[in-house]
């Protein structure tokens, strides 16, 4: 669940800013972001909903869903042995979703390096921030459909048994050898040309991010520090504050 909660925060902030718009369900007035291809595999909504329900009993209409996403991502990192950081609070929630903005603002598993660099640059994030945030893939699992093409064009026989050429799209494979632990094995894998997704391996493919990947593969502490700093920067993307937006009573629907 740690990987899922960090991913939810990322998918929120990269689409119209950190406003919890990605948590809204379809309604008569809202077309949800959840049905967009990059979001259909997101998980952890029930954790955010449970946290919101408890907070509403203690301090109603005070803590936004956007802030809960940010805090949950921080706590998920720390729970898995990764860094913690001071989370800026005071975000408010969107009253609308932005499904038409999802495809152009979230990376795909087969994006090349320049696309990734340009996408993050548009958000004010550097290549180092991008590589550090990609390191969240040290946690969790990936479905077969996201890496099948890569493993059936090389000698990854063990992976091919788990992910056949036909079928098994939802079969899951660990992103690195310690999928429940926040460490730098993700970068060790990439240096050894064992990145699972294309977007993983392109970080070490003769381009401008090679030196950053090598640095993180050799220094877990540098990776942890940069990851925390990049998460803080990401959490600053276009937050709603002051009188903008609202503090939703439930995270899946705007207040009536």
Task: Establish whether 21 is an annotated binding residue.
Answer: yes
Cβ atoms of 33 and 102 within 8 Å: the answer is yes
Q: Is 242 helix (H, G, I), strand (E, B) or coil?
A: coil
Task: Establish whether 180 is an annotated binding residue.
Answer: no
- What residues act catalytically? 11
CA distance 231 to 18: 12
Task: Establish whether 199 is an annotated binding residue.
Answer: no
Task: Establish whether 75 is an annotated binding residue.
Answer: no
Task: Establish whether 209 is an annotated binding residue.
Answer: no
The residue written with tokens 């429940």 in the block is: 180
Q: Number of H helices and number of E strands within the chain?
A: 12, 2
Task: Establish whether 19 is an annotated binding residue.
Answer: yes
CA distance 224 to 44: 23
Task: Establish whether 152 is an annotated binding residue.
Answer: no
CA distance 254 to 239: 17
Task: Establish whether 67 is an annotated binding residue.
Answer: no
- Residue ranges for the known binding site for heme b are 137
- Residue ranges for the known binding site are 12, 15, 17, 19, 21, 33, 107, 137-138, 176, 178, 183
């Amino acid at each position: 669940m740690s990987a899922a909660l960090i991913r939810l925060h990322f998918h929120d902030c990269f689409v119209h800013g950190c406003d919890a718009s990605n948590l809204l369900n379809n309604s008569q007035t809202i077309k949800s972001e959840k049905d967009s291809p990059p979001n259909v595999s997101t998980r952890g909504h029930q954790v955010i909903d449970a946290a919101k329900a408890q907070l509403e009993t203690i301090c109603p209409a005070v803590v936004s869903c956007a802030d809960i996403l940010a805090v949950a991502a921080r706590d998920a990192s720390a729970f898995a042995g990764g860094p913690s950081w001071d989370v800026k609070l005071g975000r408010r929630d969107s009253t609308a979703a932005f499904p038409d903005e999802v495809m152009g603002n979230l990376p795909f598993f087969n994006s090349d390096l320049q696309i990734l660099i340009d996408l993050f640059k548009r958000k004010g994030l550097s290549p180092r921030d991008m590589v550090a945030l990609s390191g969240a893939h040290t946690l969790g699992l990936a479905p077969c459909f996201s890496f099948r093409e890569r493993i059936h064009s090389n000698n990854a026989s063990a992976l091919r048994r788990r992910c056949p050429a036909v079928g098994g799209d939802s079969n899951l494979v660990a992103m690195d050898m310690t999928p429940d632990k926040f460490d730098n094995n993700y970068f060790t894998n990439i240096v050894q040309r064992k990145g699972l997704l294309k977007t993983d391996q392109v970080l070490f493919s003769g381009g401008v991010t090679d030196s950053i990947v090598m640095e993180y593969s050799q220094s877990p502490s540098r990776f942890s520090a940069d990851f925390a700093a990049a998460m803080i920067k990401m959490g600053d993307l276009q937050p709603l504050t002051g009188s903008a937006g609202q503090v939703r009573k439930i995270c899946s629907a705007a207040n009536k």
